[in-house]
Amino acid sequence: MKLMRTVARVTALLALCSAPLWSSAQGLSLGVSVQVAPPALPIYEQPPMPAAGYLWNPGYWAWGPAGYYWVPGTWVLAPAPGLLWTPGYWGWLGGAFLWHGGYWGPHVGFYGGVNYGFGYGGVGYAGGFWRGGAFQYNRAANNFGSASVNNSYDQPLPNHGGMNRVSYNGGNGGINATPTPAEQQAAYERHQGATPMQTEHEQAASGDRALLASINHGAPAVAATAHPGQFSGAGIVRAHASSIAGSGYPPPPRFRPREPSPMTPVARGPGPSFAPNRGPAPRMQAAPTYRPVSPRPQYRAPARPAYRAPSRQPAHPAAPHPQRDERR
């Protein structure tokens, strides 16, 4: 089984090497074989343009020793007038995800049907075009900011499938897109690789651990920047919180405040006082030993004196009667 997979990969790589131009011209990273699909594209706003003449380079997921990391979108200068940027993309081939590097050319070629936004809706580029050595900007796809732009027009952006944030082509859950006749013809044109400014920008992103997908969970704090290689200060745009959903990585945990312990000081008046909060129930004190109470003494009425009948003698003896004088 393992041998069959190896043969399939070698066959696919040989087919790519013999394919028209889309191998070396796009900088196809044949040595990178990734078994994990890249996260979904984050949602972010475009930073303002530094000055007229800059073209938008959309952000993308790159692969490094620590896994996928986000390369923020930025404004770059074309290496020569008349050249347009074709973004790179991840494609499923031979049981692995392979990176197809971007390139400069007179026409925008195939980039996997990935909707990078800001004019790169999956097919071609609707953000502007070259005319007479000057770039004509579409106001619907470019944030001019305070830059003075004389050559501009206003045209609604085409919708090639809605807000599809899938970042790879083919495979299970990937974008089912194939090159159009115009994109096939663009593959035979003379191409030029990324500029030193773009290469330094990607290298700077690879050294920033905050841009790792395993840390930012698909919503990098620096989703786009106005200047290549600048990941702090003015002109930095972070991803929206809604971009976390469907990124392939679990959302960060919601931190809850720790509940105070039973002896946590609680502010009451001028100073803290200790009050029991949620925690283990207080220990019950042992009940006191029961001692029987001695019975009360029985009530005894005082003894009444014995009844004595009163004597019949008068209380006061009668006075003797005066004797009569018999001599009268």
Work out the average pLDDT over 265-287: 43
H or E element: which one contains 25?
none
Q: Is residue 249 part of a domain?
A: no
Of 222, 207, 204, the residue nearest 44 (C-alpha)? 222
DSSP 8-state symbol, 175: B
Work out the average pLDDT over 45-68: 97
Q: Is residue 208 part of a domain?
A: yes
Range of the domain at 212: 2-244
Percent of the chain clearing pLDDT 90 (strictly above)? 59
3-state DSSP assignment of residue 237: strand
CA distances from 91 to 34, 76, 164, 203, 225 (A): 10, 25, 16, 22, 26
pLDDT band at 36 (very low <50, low <70, confident <90, very high): very high
pLDDT band at 159 (very low <50, low <70, confident <90, very high): confident
**Low-confidence winner among 5-9, 167-171, 241-245 (lowest mean pLDDT):** 5-9
> 53 — alpha (psi -120 to 50), left (phi > 0) or beta?
left
322 or 132, greater pLDDT: 132
Rounded to two decimals, the pTM is 0.67
Percent of the chain clearing pLDDT 70 (strictly above)? 62
Q: Is residue 276 part of a domain?
A: no
Residue 84's pLDDT is what?
98
CA–CA distance, 103 with 121 (Å, rounded to integer): 17
Q: Count of domains in the chain? A: 1
CA–CA distance, 35 with 37 (Å, rounded to integer): 7
* Tokens coding 166: 């899938």
| Mean pLDDT, the chain, whole residue set | 77
- Count Cα atoms within 13 angstroms, Cβ side, for 252: 14
Q: Is pLDDT at 275 greater than 80 in this prediction?
A: no
Q: Is residue 83 part of a domain?
A: yes
3-state DSSP assignment of residue 259: coil
* Tokens coding 221: 């704090």
On the 0-12 / 13-18 / 19+ scale of CB atoms within 10 A, 175 is buried
* Tokens coding 266: 């609680």
* Tokens coding 93: 């081939």
Say how many Å lie between the first and final Cα of the chain, rounded.
183
pLDDT in tens, 64-97: 999 999 999 999 999 999 999 999 999 999 889 9
Residue 257's pLDDT is what?
34
CA–CA distance, 255 with 260 (Å, rounded to integer): 15
Q: Is residue 16 part of a domain?
A: yes
CA–CA distance, 188 with 326 (Å, rounded to integer): 195
* Tokens coding 130: 């070259």
DSSP 8-state symbol, 201: H
302 or 88, greater pLDDT: 88
Residue 158's pLDDT is what?
86
* Tokens coding 138: 């579409």
Residue 309's pLDDT is what?
61
Q: Is pLDDT at 188 greater than 80 in this prediction?
A: yes
Residue type, 84: L
pLDDT in tens, 200-255: 999 999 999 999 999 999 999 999 999 999 999 999 999 987 655 433 333 333 33
